[in-house]
Every structure is written in C-alpha cells, then in structure tokens.
C-alpha cells in the first residue's frame, strides 16, 4: 500500500455554504499524492451528505462521522487517523491555494518538524497579509529561535492552520489540541514550537483565512472567549516558567500580557463581580515593551479608566 505524502485534516461543522469552496481547493491541488480527511463533527446541516458525496467522487477523501465534540476533538481524531508523514490543518470555511501541497512537499527536508507559511486574511472586500518576519528558506532553526524571531518582530501568529507538521513529531510529543475550549490554537501552538527542534519558513501566503459574519470572532457575546483565554494564559504561564532561555521567557510573557488584557476585554470583565475570575497580579513582572508596561500599569491602578482609554483607541483605529 502506497501511503500519501501529506494528510489534510478538515473539521466540518455547520458550513454547508462554504464547504464546497474549501474541498474544491483541496481536490484540485497540483500535488496529487495527498489524503483529505473530512471530520464531520456531528454537523446538523447537510454537511455530512456533502462530505459523503465528495468521498464517492474522489478516492483520496476519507470521511469520519462523529458526535459533536468541538474543533479540537475533530482535529485530534483526524490527526490519529492520518496516514501521511506530514499533516496540514484546514478549517472548512477557509481555502488554500492550489499549489500549496506542491510547495510544502518540495520544502520538506531532514525530518523537519514544522514548515511555516503565510496567509491572507479576508473580511468582505478587505484583504490583509499575515506574513512572518523573514527567515531564509535555506535555514532550519529550532522552534524556540523561531518564536524569538517572530515575537521580537510582533509577527508570531498562533493559528494552527499556518503550518505543515511532522505527524510523528506531534504524536510522540503528545501535542494534541485541548478539548472543550475556545482559542485552542493559542494554547496549542506555543507548545508545538517549544518542542520543535527543526523549523523551516517559506514565504508563501498559501492560506485564505475568511472572516464570516457568523464566526466566533464576530460573536457579540464573548464571555466564554474571555474565560477560556484567561485560563489559557494561566496554563501557559506555568509552561513558560520552565523555560531556561531568559530572553525567550520574557518575550513569551510579554505576549501573554496582550492575551490576558484581550481576554478581559472580550468578556468585559472590568467590574468587581469578576474579581474571582482573575488576579491583576498576573501582569506584574511580565511586560517588557513600553506599550505593555503602560497598559498593565493603567489596568492595575484603574480598570475602568483602562477600559475607557482602550475602547477609545480601538474605535479610533477602526475608523482610520
């Protein structure tokens, strides 16, 4: 039996309007030696039928029907089912360029753990490039060095779908997604790069990231987003405490400041009724940039004033 070279894992849930665009971008890849794993996460619409119809037409497609368990659970199921040495995660409301797998496969060398690419963020008619700080494609560095380079440049994107992964590397290091939470990539991606010994970057915006009006990022009530992101910050704080590289630890903790304050604003957790949800002490000693130091100081001394200034600045930036 000839095994595929790349497994593409696609969690599917309530995307019957978008799934055709996604799957078509996969089956029309210029590199044919792939398998496509569509994980139907108990979708209540026509997605299960659509997935099965695609599987009948293309033998490279495998469909897994399971009870709803969330994005993390669907990705984990797909990862364990994958047969290729390398895996790519694609969300079912997004799509990839037709030469993605060809470019990635031609870049695989020396059992590299992670190959990093770029993306295009699409919201309506607006497009913006999600591009990393440049590292020569001839260079292989550790995940920790990659994190340092990107964090210094403020170009570290935590989306799981931005990279191609060595499947054995993920499984051997128990790098599965935490189930039952939102913002799972924020919890997963740092752990991946902290473990990775060989990381390669190719300047290639292969992924088309679509912001839908009904997406989680557009939800009006983000209470659960805030709760989960706060808990992720505390989890990562413990992991970062074990890092020997002082510079990297400082950069990661500075990044945590942004996540923590973002979580507070997501959930609108400024009033005293949320005093047991988090502690201001989390911010002490973590910020290293002047901006994060100023934000943290203001939040610690006066949460309501911080909220007022943060909202004013946010609205101002949106209107520019």
* Tens digit of each residue's pLDDT (9 = 90 or more) over 135-162: 998 899 999 999 999 999 999 999 999 9
According to DSSP, residue 161 is labeled G
Q: What is the pTM of this model?
A: 0.94
Residue 320 has pLDDT above 70, yes or no: no
Task: Report pLDDT digits (tens) over 213-268.
Answer: 765 555 678 999 999 999 999 999 999 999 999 999 999 999 999 999 999 999 99
Residue 3 has pLDDT above 50, yes or no: yes
Number of compact structural domains in the chain = 2
Task: Report pLDDT digits (tens) over 29-46.
Answer: 999 999 999 999 999 999
Same domain for 18 and 51?
Answer: yes
Task: Report pLDDT digits (tens) over 163-210.
Answer: 999 999 999 999 999 999 999 999 999 999 999 999 999 999 999 999
Same domain for 228 and 200?
Answer: no
- Indicate the helix (H) or strand (E) that contains 301: helix 290-301
Q: Which of 20-24, 82-86, 108-112 has the lowest mean pLDDT?
A: 108-112
Residue 104: CATH number of its domain: 3.90.550.10
Query: Strand 6-12 to strand 34-41: parallel, antiparallel, or no bridges (unpaired)?
Result: parallel
For residue 177, the Cα-to-chain-centroid distance in whole angstroms is 11
Query: Strand 163-166 to strand 114-123: parallel, antiparallel, or no bridges (unpaired)?
Result: antiparallel
- The answer to the question of residue 94 being in a domain is yes
For residue 246, the Cα-to-chain-centroid distance in whole angstroms is 25
Nearest one of 132, 233, 145 to 196, comparing CA atoms: 145
Percent residues over pLDDT 70 in the chain? 96
Mean per-residue pLDDT over the chain, rounded: 94
Q: Structural domain of residue 33, as residue ranges?
A: 6-216
Q: Nearest 5°: phi and psi at 185?
A: -65, -35
Same domain for 20 and 45?
Answer: yes
* 138/175 Cα distance (integer angstroms): 26
Residue 97 has pLDDT above 60, yes or no: yes
What pLDDT does residue 123 have?
Answer: 94
Q: Which stretches does DSSP call E strand in the chain? A: 6-12, 34-41, 61-66, 86-89, 95-96, 114-123, 126-130, 140-141, 163-166, 199-210
């Amino acid at each position: 039996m000839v095994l595929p070279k790349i497994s593409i894992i696609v969690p599917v849930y309530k995307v019957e309007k978008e799934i055709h665009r996604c799957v078509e971008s996969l089956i029309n890849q210029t590199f044919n030696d792939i398998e496509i794993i569509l994980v139907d996460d108990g979708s209540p619409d026509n997605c299960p039928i659509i997935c099965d119809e695609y599987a009948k037409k293309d033998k490279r497609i495998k469909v897994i029907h399971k009870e709803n368990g969330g994005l993390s659970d669907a990705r984990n199921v797909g990862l364990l089912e994958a047969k290729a040495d390398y895996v790519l995660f694609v969300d079912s409301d997004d799509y990839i360029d037709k030469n993605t797998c060809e470019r990635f496969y031609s870049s695989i060398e020396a059992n590299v753990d992670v190959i990093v690419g770029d993306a295009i963020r699409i919201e309506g008619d607006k497009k913006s490039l999600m591009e990393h700080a440049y590292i020569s494609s001839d260079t292989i560095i550790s995940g920790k060095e990659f994190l340092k380079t990107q964090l210094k440049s403020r170009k570290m994107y935590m989306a799981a779908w931005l990279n191609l992964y060595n499947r054995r590397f993920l499984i051997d290091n128990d790098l599965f997604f935490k189930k039952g939470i939102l913002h799972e990539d924020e919890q997963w991606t740092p752990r991946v790069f902290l473990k990775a010994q060989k990381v390669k970057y190719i300047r290639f915006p292969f992924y088309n990231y679509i912001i839908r009006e009904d997406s989680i990022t557009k939800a009006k009530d983000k209470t659960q987003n805030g709760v989960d992101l706060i808990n992720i910050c505390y989890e990562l704080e413990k992991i970062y405490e074990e890092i020997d590289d002082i510079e990297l630890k400082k950069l990661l903790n500075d990044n945590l400041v942004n996540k923590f304050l973002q979580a507070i604003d997501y959930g609108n957790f400024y009033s005293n009724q949320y005093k047991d949800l988090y502690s201001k002490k989390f911010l002490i000693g973590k910020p290293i940039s002047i901006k994060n130091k100023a934000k943290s100081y203001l939040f610690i001394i006066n949460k309501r004033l911080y909220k007022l200034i943060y909202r004013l600045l946010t609205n101002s930036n949106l209107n520019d």
